[in-house]
Amino acid sequence: MQKRKLGKSNLEVSAIGLGCMGLSFGLGPAVDKQTGITLIRAAVERGVTFFDTAEVYGPFTNEELVGEALAPFREQVVIATKFGFKIENGKQAGIDSRPEHIKEVAEASLKRLKTDRIDLFYQHRVDPNVPIEDVAGAVKELIQQGKVKHFGLSEAGAQTIRRAHAVQPVTALQSEYSLWWREPEAEILPTLEELGIGFVPFSPLGKGFLTGKITADTQFDKNDFRNIVPRFTPEARKVNQAVVDLISKVAEQKKATPAQIALAWVLAQKPWMAPIPGTTKVHRLEENVGAVEVELTPEDLRQIDSAVARIPVQGERYPENLQKLINR
């Protein structure tokens, strides 16, 4: 597996990481513990060293799963987790990035992850009630205490990134980015390049859509978050199929799968990007990891870009109430 450095930091990770959320939360029923452990350890065996979780996934159960699965390999891997939500009665209940809360979350996450340090600690969503300087200051203290190694932000806007970075250097920004969601290219990616911050795209497979395995007729489990995503209404899926058709054509030429083309495209954008596709199946994990072997030439990339530019993607990527938590 190729390695990449996140921005100018010395944090080195596998070119493709593993987003662990879907094992416990968000995309239908949680897998049983042993299945989750087997999948995470299969990723380690295939050279994946970058694992992404959060206290709110479950809540709590995903961190526990990741901690147990990775305990035997702790020195070989990078574990990223996140703070910033309020959790009441086992449910997410708004956001909370007060410095005292950040420190409580860090202590609890360390226990669940069975570790003495968090390699990358992200603010999950920007909290409008807490100045970002206070957030960065709280993480800085945790770094000074050796409990956290690197500070990250998720779905933050350019000004927030700059303000945070001035207090405690930001190692990585995590946001959605893929062939069908390219908004970060306008303002976010130039800001990260200028400041030397790495980028960790989540949903690089468009929440599964770019794999070609989801059609207008696909029925999602009742607990699947995609049921409320405007981009996943049957009508939107019908229109958006054009993007998948395009990727499938390229995949045929390259003797690869649509998922591998979608991931190879992300990897080709910048050397300081490390996408974190998620899966619950070992054969899909192998397929995703195989994307590092797919080479897209500058001409391939030009052709893909000009073809995608002509396809209007239909539907917002989040329902309206969640849209408000993004790019502050």
Would you please indicate which residues are annotated as catalytic (active-site) residues? 57
8 Å CB contact between 69 and 40: yes
Contact 183, 204 (CB under 8 A): no
Can you list the alpha helix ranges (DSSP code H) found in the chain? 33-45, 61-70, 99-112, 132-144, 158-167, 188-195, 234-254, 258-269, 282-289, 298-309, 320-323
φ and ψ at 91, to 5 degrees? -135, 150
Provide the greatest CA pair distance for the chain. Answer: 54
Are 231 and 317 in contact, with CB atoms under 8 Å apart? yes
| Contact yes or no for 2/30 (Cβ under 8 A) | no
Calculate ∠ Cα 273-228-242, nearest 5°: 60
CA distance 74 to 64: 14
User: Tokens 């990449």 map to which residue?
Assistant: 4
Q: d(Cα 204, Cα 262) in Å, to the nearest integer?
A: 7
The C-alpha R_g of the chain, in whole angstroms, comes to 19
Residues 6+ away with beta carbon under 8 Å from 245: none
What is the DSSP code (8-state) at residue 32?
P
- Measured CA to CA, the distance from residue 21 to residue 30 in angstroms comes to 9
